[in-house]
C-alpha cells in the first residue's frame, strides 16, 4: 500500500531560526513529489514539485531535497518568519500521466513560528 509519512507532526521554533521537515514515502512507481503550504482554513499552495531526476529545488526561503534511492524528502525553511506558521503537506504521485487517485498525501507537519 502506498504511504507517505511526515515528521515531526508538529514543531515550534523561534522566528529567525531554520527548520527541516521530513517526508518518507513508500510509493511505487514514483513519478513526482510535491510540497504544499496550507494556512489554517485555506487551501494548500504549491511550494515545489520534484521529479525523479531532481535532487534539490528552491522557492525563496524554502528548499526541498529528494533522495529517490532512500525514498526520502525534506523541506528546509531558512530564516523563518511568522508567516511561515502553517501546515506543510508532502504529496507523492505514483504514476506519470495518472490521475488524482495516484496521489498519496501525508498528514502534514504543523509548524508554529513564535516571535
Residues that bind another protein (CB under 8 A): 31-32, 34, 36, 41-46, 49, 89, 93-103, 105-108
Q: Contact at 8 Å (CB) between 96 and 27?
A: no
Supply the minimum distance, in Å, between the C-beta of residue 55 and another protein. 19
Nearer to another protein, 80 or 87 (CB): 87
Smallest distance from the beta carbon of 69 to another protein, in angstroms?
22
Strands (E), 3-114: 3-7, 10-14, 19-26, 32-38, 45-51, 56-59, 62-67, 72-77, 86-93, 103-105, 109-114
Judge whether 93 and 36 are in contact, CB under 8 Å. no
Cβ at position 82, least distance to another protein in Å = 21
Report the residue number, 25 or 36, with the smaller CB distance to another protein: 36
Amino acid at each position: 500500500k502506498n504511504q507517505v509519512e511526515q515528521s515531526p507532526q508538529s514543531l515550534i521554533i523561534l522566528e529567525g531560526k531554520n527548520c527541516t521537515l521530513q517526508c518518507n514515502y513508500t510509493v511505487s512507481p514514483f513519478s513526482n513529489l510535491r510540497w504544499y503550504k496550507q494556512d489554517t482554513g485555506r487551501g494548500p499552495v504549491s511550494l515545489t514539485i520534484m521529479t525523479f531526476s531532481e535532487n534539490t529545488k528552491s522557492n525563496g526561503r524554502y528548499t526541498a531535497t529528494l533522495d529517490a534511492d532512500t525514498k526520502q524528502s525534506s523541506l528546509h525553511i531558512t530564516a523563518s518568519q511568522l508567516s511561515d506558521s502553517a501546515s506543510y503537506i508532502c504529496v507523492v504521485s505514483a504514476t506519470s500521466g495518472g490521475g488524482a487517485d495516484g496521489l498519496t498525501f501525508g498528514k502534514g507537519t504543523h509548524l508554529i513560528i513564535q516571535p
